[in-house]
Amino acid sequence: MIINDNDKISSFQCFVLFVSVMIGIGIMFMPSSVAKAVEQNGWFVVLLGGMLSFLAFLLIFKLTMLDPDVTVIELLTNAFGKIVGTVFSIMYVIYFIIFSSFETRLIAETAKEFLFTLTPNEVLVITFLLSCAYLSRYGVEVIARMCEVLMPGIVLIIIILSFFVYQRLDFSNLLPVLNISFLKLLKGIGTTIFSFLGFEVFLFFMPYIRRKDKLIKSAFFGFLVTVLLYEVIIIFATADFGAKEMQTMVWPTLNLFRDVTVLEIVIERPESIVVALWMITTYTTEIIFLMTTSLILARIFNTKEHNFFVFLQLPFIYILSLIPQNISETQRFMDYFSYFFATFLALFLPLVTYTVLSVKRKVKKT
């Protein structure tokens, strides 16, 4: 697959891609998930979850820097041979297709709940997928430019909305601090994993990055912005509702911004701003996943372009997105997905691949 010089991304665009791909589907449900696991200590497990995810990215960076001019597809082949390497590569394809199906189903459920109450889920899913696929046909640089325009505005609007919410908070709901067992703490960290996933797309982006030596810096600030944003939402939601009430909520983040009475002066339903913002963040995440999957398939089949593969994956995402019966079942499947599949492909497999390639290089030198 040929990579043109004008399809490469800058350090700032890498930073924006990190934020865009991590802030997505999890931001709406994470407050209630962590409240069920660790009650009012959600802010602490989000901090630990962000730190562990950054360490996992450092492993991915070490692996890809073994040969920065190729993707992990070629590294898997070098480590395990053609057949086994291709099997692992196809697992990444399945991984991103399943991940995309979760994003698609929950964006459809949100749109149906708050905007298009009479529209069937099937229509919402198809519309969302086609709109994402249209942009995913273009290169990494085009998508990075779009995220470059959208992401600063989204973060700014959330900060402004948080300012209005701040005035009604009761921070005593955050007490007592760390009154939980170690096992509960581990379970709580596990619930945050899905919200940070997405950084593993950089297993496939390394050849598209201009300044690879600055990628760690871009990743650090990308994780920092994501963690700070999650912390604001978790702390504010806990202070506003309390841990017990938050455990029963389906849309805790949306409820947090729903009662911003100041905004009701100029807009009838302020929660619609949050729904629109979340749709944009999910949209950017989805197009990055669609493009990543098509880039992997283009590498596997050694084609010059990835455009064809963007539309090829849509029927699978459509079918998978409609399998869960409701939001609760979708969230349960997401937990299984992040505990097992994501842990294997975002952490265990890169670690094993890095070890095998390092040993092979040492043996070759001797």
Task: Quickly list H helices, the chain.
Answer: 11-22, 30-38, 42-64, 72-80, 82-114, 121-136, 140-166, 182-196, 215-241, 243-246, 252-258, 271-300, 307-312, 314-321, 327-336, 343, 349-365
Per residue of the chain (366 residues), give pLDDT as tens. Answer: 555 656 788 999 999 999 888 887 677 778 888 888 888 888 999 999 999 999 999 999 999 999 988 889 999 999 999 999 999 999 999 999 999 999 899 888 888 887 788 889 899 999 999 999 998 888 788 888 888 888 887 778 778 777 777 777 888 888 888 778 888 888 888 888 778 888 999 999 888 899 888 999 999 999 999 999 899 889 988 988 888 888 888 778 877 777 666 555 566 666 677 777 778 888 888 999 999 999 999 999 988 888 889 999 999 999 999 999 888 888 888 888 877 888 899 989 999 999 999 999 888 877
Question: For residue 117, is it within any domain?
Answer: yes
CB atoms closer than 10 angstroms to residue 305: 13
Question: For residue 351, is it within any domain?
Answer: no
Task: Please report the pLDDT score of residue 259 as a whole number.
Answer: 66
What angle in degrees, to the nearest 10, is found between the helix axes of 121-136 and 140-166?
Answer: 130
Question: For residue 192, is it within any domain?
Answer: yes
Query: Which residue type does 184 have?
Result: K
Please give the DSSP secondary-structure letter assigned to residue 305.
Answer: -
Question: For residue 361, is it within any domain?
Answer: no
Task: Please report the pLDDT score of residue 281 as a whole number.
Answer: 82
**What CA–CA distances, in Å, run from 89 to 25, 166, 249?**
24, 46, 38
CA triple 249-337-231, angle to 5 deg: 45
Task: Please report the pLDDT score of residue 222 as a whole number.
Answer: 93
- Give the count of domains, the chain: 1
Distance CA 294, CA 286 (A): 12
**What CA–CA distances, in Å, run from 152 to 27, 47, 74, 138, 330?**
17, 22, 34, 22, 30
CB atoms closer than 10 angstroms to residue 65: 14
Distance CA 168, CA 103 (A): 32
Question: For residue 295, is it within any domain?
Answer: yes
Question: For residue 318, is it within any domain?
Answer: yes
CA triple 35-334-116, angle to 5 deg: 90
Domain boundaries, position 62: 11-343
Task: Please report the pLDDT score of residue 91 as a whole number.
Answer: 95
Task: Please report the pLDDT score of residue 356 as a whole number.
Answer: 95
Question: For residue 352, is it within any domain?
Answer: no
CB 154 within 8 A of CB 281: yes
Q: Kindly state the tokens that stand for 304.
A: 């010059």
Distance CA 124, CA 118 (A): 11
Question: For residue 363, is it within any domain?
Answer: no
* CATH, residue 122: 1.20.1740.10
